Amino acid sequence: MNPCTSRLLIVDDNEMNRDMLARRLARKGYEIAVTHSAHDLLERVKLDGTDLVLLDIEMPEVSGLDALKTLREAYSAIELPIIMVTAKNQSEDIVRALDLGANDYLTKPIDFPVALARIGTQLSHKRAQEALKESEERYALAARGSNDGLWDWNLSANVVHFSPRWKAMLGYQEAQIGDRPEEWFERIHDADRERVKEEIAAHQKGLTPHFESEHRVLHKDGSFRWMLSRGVAVHDTSGNPLRMAGSQTDITEGKVSDPLTGLPNRLLFIDRVGRLVKHTKRRKDHLFAVLFLDLDGFKMINDGMGHLIGDQLLLGVAHRLEKCLRSTDTVARLGETFTVARLGGDEFTVLLDDIKDPDDAKRAADRMMKALAAPFILGGKEVFTSVSIGIALSTSAYEQPEEMLRDADTAMYRAKALGKARYEVFDADMRASVMARLQLETDLHRALEREELRNFYQPIVTLASGEIAGFEALLRWQHPTRGLLGPIEFIPVAEETGLIRELGWWNLRKACQQISEWRAGSLAHRHLSISVNLSAKQFLQPKLVEDIRNLLHELALPAEALKLEITESTVMADPSAAIEMLQQIKSLGIRLAIDDFGTGYSSLSYLHRFPLDTLKIDRSFISGMGDDGEGMEIARTILPMANNLRLDVVAEGVETLQQVAMLKKLQCKYGQGYYFSKPLSAEGTAALLAGDLTWQACEQTK
């Protein structure tokens, strides 16, 4: 303490004593004020900004009960350290001094070293009290400003002081929550409670510098609020925790809101559905629905127009969904008991509560589809989108909210599969279909390691001579319980899961090995080629060309013996990138074919830019061929164009002699189909090549 910053007031009616004391204290650096009367004590203290009072107890005006009462009140108002000076060390003087509210006393004659020490002690105490008071006021102001709830846990007594704000954050009045730690822990969500206790224990053991935890706490209204709780523990000299204090902040808004649209997110939506699931168990007549919405074609908009436009579209969709639900007759009649949420990406969900029958959910779905049908004006352009909706009703007696959301999602995918821009209501058949698909996916993961895949080979025939020009390798799956499965039963699953890359490479490698063996087995077969389908995901692999080059080198297979078939939709998804990849493949000497030509995009204008060798006319056009059939007209258009571009043409799905005759008339070079042969196993194909199988159909074409 610097004494020069301390101001003392000396109260003594003896001028000599007063002046002598003032001089001595002034030499020590104190600022001194003097008065000969105690009557103006309070006024002088306030006026002079006094730090400490030194009062002579023997002044006449201090005697008497009324005077004592007045002084006592003054002392209480002043709240200053006061030292009483007595003539001698008599017990009654000490009692009298303390009774007046003095903090200390001295005897006359004054022992100045002792007096100064006591004065210094009193001033230090006063400063400490003032600093503590200022700190507490500052802390209280900061706490009020931050809107946080405070808690202070006496670990020895195991009681917790919860501030009024802490209680109000959970919807309670001051007297409605006690001081037991259980008042906090028992309100923490079951899924979070043990974790919070472990985090507190770790901090109390000194394993973490501070306690910080995000967890859910039950509100009085029955909902759970997300809280951020922070705190720090105080330990004794032995390291034992004595006390722990901290704050609680409501972070529900940031935790449960989608940052783009401001709608509730998955977390909040699941919480609300969960509360209704529990409620429905108590009230069997309560009906509600969950609707799962997915925008149709959003990826194309996002990729084609940019993510900024995509985000604006999502904002527009969110606004329209809320608006149309709020204005529907169904929901208005129900008191607007709906929740629109965004799960992420282009997926939205809607919770319709207290509906009267399933048709209410259907009408709401229909209203939402109509609301989204009108164009959105984004970036100065009209953008159109539609939505596929799946509906799950609470009549299925769900145990968990995630189950209901899963079924609504399943119904949505059924709507997608049936043509999009529609809604479907979940039923038991969908569940059986989903379970079967999941089992199929699991089995497909094991098919490679169990060596269950097979390649079957269908001949590609030169129409003019009836000779086999090559084969197409067609993938089959010898399922352990379901038998031989065709590609339509498992390729879509492989595409969705990404397994198509592994299956496609197995198909390619096995086919190259097989044609290499057949070519090497007989000079008559040296001309044979093998055609292999290349999926879109394979086509986009960066190491595709390198891997194929290495495979051909390993098998010593001439590049011209391999023909890769790519669908029209694959190359037209990104024509520029497709041209570059096709040119790289072509540089190896591999031949290229467009498969299923005519079923995808209109690629006639691009056809001359692709380094192709062959067009394969889709079977749907060949099966419709007749004298005046539509298929005939398409074939008449494609074949001259292909001849002008010097492309070979393979007609798929040839099944009749009449079709063969028409194709030969149109100068189609190759045919493939059941008229010649169904796909054969490797053993069957070898027998065909060896002449062990009779091929009556080929004889008829000669």
Residues 6+ apart with CB under 8 A from 483: none
Res. 333: pLDDT tops 50: no
User: What is the per-residue pLDDT for 60?
Assistant: 66
Res. 617: pLDDT tops 90: no
407-456 pLDDT, tens per residue? 999 999 999 988 899 999 999 888 888 888 888 889 999 998 899 999 99
Res. 327: pLDDT tops 70: no
pLDDT (mean) for 63-75: 58
Res. 599: pLDDT tops 80: no
Query: What is the average pLDDT value for the chain, to the nearest integer?
Result: 84
User: What is the per-residue pLDDT for 222?
Assistant: 82
Res. 1: pLDDT tops 50: no
CA–CA gap between residue 538 and residue 491 (Å, rounded): 13
Residues 6+ apart with CB under 8 A from 178: none
Q: Is 161 helix (H, G, I), strand (E, B) or coil?
A: strand
User: What is the per-residue pLDDT for 587?
Assistant: 95
Phi, psi for residue 499 in degrees, rounded to 5? -65, -15
Strands 562-567 and 529-533: parallel
Of 73-87, 320-334, 473-487, highest mean pLDDT: 473-487
User: What is the per-residue pLDDT for 660?
Assistant: 92
Q: 473 and 507 in contact (C-beta within 8 Å)? A: yes
User: What is the per-residue pLDDT for 698?
Assistant: 43
Residues 6+ apart with CB under 8 A from 211: 199, 200, 203, 229, 230, 231, 232, 233, 244, 246
CA–CA gap between residue 156 and residue 235 (Å, rounded): 11
Instruction: Quote the DSSP letter at residue 476.
Output: E
Exposure string (b/e) for 576-587, b if CB count within 10 Å is 16 or more?
eebeebbebbbe
666-693 pLDDT, tens per residue? 889 999 999 999 999 999 999 999 886 5
Residues 6+ apart with CB under 8 A from 71: 38, 41, 62, 100, 101
Q: How far is residue 645 from each of residues 461, 464, 578, 611, measured CA to CA in Å?
A: 21, 21, 19, 11
Q: Where are the alpha helices (DSSP H) in 212-265?
A: 252-256
pTM of the model: 0.55
User: What is the per-residue pLDDT for 590?
Assistant: 96
Burial label, 197 (beta-carbon count in 10 A; 0-12, 13-18, 19+): middle
Q: Which residue has the higher pLDDT, 60 or 434?
A: 434
478-528 pLDDT, tens per residue? 999 999 999 999 998 998 888 999 999 999 999 999 999 999 988 889 999
Confidence of residue 475 (pLDDT cuts 50, 70, 90): very high
User: What is the per-residue pLDDT for 532?
Assistant: 97
User: What is the per-residue pLDDT for 697?
Assistant: 42
Q: How far is residue 333 from each of residues 101, 117, 584, measured CA to CA in Å?
A: 73, 82, 64
Res. 655: pLDDT tops 80: yes
